[in-house]
A and B are shown apart, each in its own frame.
Chain A
Amino acid sequence: MPTSPSAVSASRIACLLVPALPLAAELRAHPELIGRPLAITAGPGARAEIVAVSPEAARAGVRTLTHVVHGRATCAALVVRVLSPARDRAARDALLDAALSTSPRAEHAPPGNGAYAAEAAVFVDARGVAALFHSEAGFAAALAERARRLGLEAVVAVASSRAVAQLAARQLAYAGSAGTADVRVIAPGSEADFLAPLPLELLNPEDAQAEALSRLGLRRIADLLRLPERALVTRLGPGIRALLSLARGQDLAPPPPVPPDTQLEEATDLEAPLERLEPLGFVLRGLLDRLAGRLDSRGLAFGDLALELRLEGGGRDARRVGLAAPTLELRVVLRLALLALEAAPPAAAVEAVSVATRGCSMRGNQLDFFRPAGPAPAVLARTLAELAALVGPSRVGAPAVADDHHPGAYRVEPFRAPRPCPPAEPAHMAGLFLAVRALRPPLPARVRLAGGRPAALESALANGRVERAAGPWRTSGRWWSAEERFAFDHYDVATDDGWVVRLRFDLLQQRWEIDGVYD
């Protein structure tokens, strides 16, 4: 459909709508249930109320607002799942991610109420999208497809205002048109024609309003708009103005904003508490998989993970899992999360799991003609994450000299491939410097003294007479802390069995140690 310049500049809003969020959230988390009769209940137990049913269950005669026991009596193969607010919240956010994968501006619609309490909708700024998707219909189809990739079956309508777009989406979802198409575009200028024949129930009036309108014999939006506003307000109260505004498709709000941050979260409430890590790993895999899909749709990667577990008995276990670099490798992220859990298992059985991450951009790769190229940023990120999973996050990084006088002090910084630099000569001592091999922890030694100096040495390494010894050089520090203070007398010692070691006497512990070997 060709779009005129004036249409491009005018407000165009897409509404991405999921009619039954609890059902959609459950099917997103458990796609193996697609095609089976499924009922979502408000709580556990046979007397729990059914709040949503799948089309298969509805065809079998299972109805909402009945009890599980009735549902099972109607359909023996009925699968029953308990409503999970955490899972619903994640599905609602996933809907927003699908929208943000097509347009930078999107926002959640206000929560539905009344007959539409279970629906979730997102408004997307659709101005200028025809340039990217050939037409608004193409954009709407792409939006529905992105939602489908994230596990959500949604309908999309594009119109000139939020109200018209949402009503059109509702009509698609509830009025029986969903079977034939899941997208609809209301051309600019044709909103009134579209709205006029729609039933008033789509406006979701309050119960009292609906009853009054019914008494007046009003069935369709056109019927309502034919009546004078002042007379309606006099008879039905000022609350009718909002309904009239909706019926006219008016939208005075500014376009949807750009979301302020990229914090993404997936969570689930478990039907039964989990005590062992292995089943928890399966839950985590599902959550991370869905999170990876959402990140991927927005061109982002995992940053550090915030893992939160709700424990049986009301406890809470929150931990942070650091990633060496942004990555989308599910296997690596899962391994790191499991390592963190194995290192310190939760204190009680787990009732709910939540994983959050701040989406990070994958690093760009800027090549240089004349300088060496390092590893590709995405590959480096994956490799660092794999190494961290293999040897532990604290044992991978860039070494750094610590600002500390302790002889064994060092730091390990996150490795970030520095920008290429022009080749240079190394520092002046390079090439001939005698290196030390550190012994971590230092090796205990027995030393025989002669004249206050080491004369013979016994240890797991060097054993024998001390041929030459230089020292002592005293090192001390952290005097302000009884636990951390240290004081050493260091000697460089050559023994007659060929070892040249760095020997120290711990003045506080009154013991000898070897903390390095010259090599």
Chain B
Amino acid sequence: MPPRPHPIQGRGLEALLRDLGANLVRGGPEAFPTRCFPTGLAEIDRALGGGFPRGRVSEVVGPSCCGRTSLALALLARVTAQGELAVVVDRPDAFDVVSAASAGVDLERVLWVRPLGLGAALRSVEHVLQAGGFPLVLLDLAGEETAAPHIPSSAWPRLRKATAAAAAALVLLGRRRLAGTYADLALELDAAAARFESGPDWLAGLDGHVRLARSRAGLAQADVAVRWRTGGRHAA
């Protein structure tokens, strides 16, 4: 008995292709967005291919005192200076207002949300992404005294989809990477060394490293040395 032709072959295939018309596209790697939010730190922006991508999930992780908050505030300062609005979803209630103002953040353009639980934090992020108009959302999960938070795996595809729909940059701060393959970009920061100046003694800053650990866009691995400065707050 001769084999029956597959129904999708021949004229069936032609009819299917004709019906699909413009909906039919060739598969391939996902296009990486060209719109980014630079941090204002030239070497880091260069390593990131321009900055933190919009419409994507990014992670900034590292141990305490590594400079991840300083990097986040630099990004926040840059974005608000451009006249954009930003949201800080601050799970550990650690956002220091004076520090942010000193870093150049336009506080009027920041919506500060301090949820009491992880679930409320994730729902807050979804709310602001669905609202639109907030092109930068910082989700701070870097509680100093807590272990890595347990986030249901179903949360990440939802957040990623909402981020893409809002064309916003969702940046997670944490001790370690949480989003896995749902993050398009991950920066890992190493523990930084304190830098003191003498006469009289004052904390001048931290010396650390920022490493590009993951890039869906295929950016080359990079390791950037960064010197954070206190600005001599107590020097006088």
Contacts and interface: CB of A to CB of B under 8 A. Distances in A.
B137 interface: no
Interface stretch (B7-15, B148-156, B224-232): B224-232
B19 interface: no
Interface string A423-438: 1111111111111111
B96 A516 contact: yes
Interface stretch (A83-91, A270-278, A466-474): A466-474
B219 interface: no
B64 A431 contact: no
B132 to A, nearest CB: 6
A415 interface: yes
B65 A395 contact: no
Contacts of A428: 104
A341 B153 CA distance: 35
Contacts of B196: 468, 470, 494
A397 B104 contact: no
B104 A418 contact: no
A256 to B, nearest CB: 40
A475 to B, nearest CB: 11
A470 B83 CA distance: 37
B113 interface: yes
Interface string B89-108: 00011111111111111111
Interface residues of A, number: 70
Count chain A CB atoms within 10 A of each CB in B64, B105, B115, B191 and give the residue with the most.
B64
Contact of A410 (B77, B98, B135): B98
Interface in A433-464: 433-440, 443, 460-461
Nearest to B116: A391
Contacts of B128: 383, 387
A345 interface: no
Contact of A399 (B39, B97, B200, B234): B97
B120 to A, nearest CB: 5
Contacts of B105: 426, 430
B69 interface: yes
B83 A518 contact: no
B201 A468 contact: yes
A390 B80 CA distance: 25
Nearest to A471: B234
B94 A438 contact: yes
Nearest to B200: A470
Contacts of B82: 372, 423-424
Contact of A518 (B65, B80, B104, B120): B65
Nearest to A440: B93
A424 B78 CA distance: 9
B116 A375 contact: no
A423 B127 contact: no
Interface stretch (B21-29, B180-188, B202-210): B202-210
A117 interface: no
Given A391-B120, A433-B229, A468-B194, A399 B110 contact: yes
A45 interface: no
A371 B132 CA distance: 16
Interface of A: 371-376, 379-380, 382-384, 386-387, 390-392, 395-402, 410-412, 415, 417-418, 420-440, 443, 460-461, 467-471, 473, 490, 492, 494, 498-500, 516-519
Interface of B: 39-41, 63-70, 72-74, 77-78, 80-85, 92-116, 120, 123-124, 127-128, 130-135, 142, 144-145, 191-192, 194, 196, 200-203, 205-206, 226-231, 234
Given A380-B133, A470-B203, A519-B70, 15 more contacts: A372-B135, A383-B130, A390-B115, A390-B120, A397-B112, A399-B97, A418-B108, A428-B104, A431-B77, A433-B70, A433-B73, A433-B104, A434-B229, A437-B142, A492-B202
